[in-house]
Homo-oligomer: A and B are copies of this chain.
Amino acid sequence: MKINPAELRRVNVFRDAADEDLKLFAEKGILRSIEEGEFFFFQGDPAKYFYILLTGRAKLLQTNQTGQQVNLRTLTKWEMFGALGAVREDALYPATAQALEPSTALAIESNFLKEMMKTRPHLNVNLMQLMTGYIMEMQERYREMATERVERRIALTVLRLAGQIGRRLEGAEMMVELPLSRQDLAETSGTTIFTVSRVLADWERRGLVDAGRERVVIRNPHGLVQISEGLDK
């Protein structure tokens, strides 16, 4: 596979980069293709590279000592991840990056980005934008986790993921498809696969979603918003 440097401008952090700079990043980068379930890096590894997802889907997750997983973020094409090493000295990845399907990413040395940032203020600004976005999302999710009941948390998770990785279904107007298993949803909303299954079954009975194997189709987003705000029943 060959990368077209100009395409890299679709990466948010590179939005304002010059063509020559994009070329530099493309040349400096190493292509890494991995299978579904494989890992780009593990929590605790030295954060020597940052990544840009080129094909496939992946997720960032943390594991506690008993092996329970939590999904921090689901990644799609052109998303940058693992970029902390470009900011902090001797940083370790704070999360693990695992492919959800066969995926390819461009791996670039963190130090290179760090060097480029010294003379390209826009890289700074845009990276800061990405970071503050993460902060706001994590704060919000933390609050939800601490204060909301499961059904509402699952609704909030599904709606958030719809915005981030949902695929608009052709033909139908407002329908969005999420290619995620019950397990993925459970790990993202902080509950169990059983509870997610029961809640989705209920929503399906009420006509809010279509729940399939490793797939959820949102038929009535507004209904989910109502649930997420506690305005139903």
Q: Which of A57-86 contact B (CB under 8 A)?
A: 62, 64-66, 68, 70, 72, 84
Q: Quick one: which of B68, B132, B190 contacts A131, CB cutoff 8 A? A: B132
Fill in one digit per residue for A117-146: 1 if any B CB lies within 8 Å of its CB, else 0: 110010011011101101110111111111
Whether B62 pairs with A132 at a CB distance below 8 angstroms is: no
Task: Please state the number of chain copies in the assembly.
Answer: 2
Name the residue on B nearest A72 (C-beta): B139
A127 to chain B: closest residue by CB: B128
How many whole Å from A82's CB to the nearest CB in chain B? 12
A198 at the interface (CB under 8 A from B): no
Cβ contacts under 8 Å, A229 to chain B: 65
Tell me whether A84 and B132 are in contact (CB under 8 A): yes
Stretch in A87-95, A98-106, A175-183, A216-224 touching the partner: A87-95
Chain B residues in 8 Å Cβ range of A66? 147, 230
> Are B129's CB and A88's CB within 8 A?
yes
Q: Is A151 an interface residue (CB 8 A)?
A: no
Contact pick for A94, options B121, B131, B136, CB 8 Å: B136
CA distance A91 to B229 in the complex (A): 24
Q: In the complex, what residue of chain B is closest to A88 when comparing beta carbons?
A: B132
Task: Verify if A204 is at the interface (C-beta below 8 Å from B).
Answer: no
Which residues of the partner chain B approach A84 to less than 8 Å between Cβ atoms? 132, 135-136
Say yes or no: B128 contacts A124, CB within 8 Å: yes
- Assess whether A148 is interfacial by the CB under 8 Å rule: yes
Output the nearest chain B residue to A73 by Cβ-Cβ distance: B139
Chain B residues contacting A121 (CB-CB under 8 Å) are 118, 124
Contact of A135 among B138, B141, B144, B148 (CB under 8 A): B138
Instruction: Identify which of B65, B118, B124, B190 contacts A145 (C-beta below 8 A).
Output: B190
Q: Inside 8 A of A94's CB, which chain B residues have their CB?
A: 135-136, 139-140
New contact pairs (18) apart from A64-B143, A95-B139, A147-B190, CB-CB < 8 Å: A62-B140, A62-B143, A64-B148, A66-B147, A66-B230, A70-B142, A72-B142, A84-B132, A84-B136, A88-B132, A94-B140, A118-B121, A124-B124, A128-B131, A134-B135, A135-B138, A138-B142, A142-B142
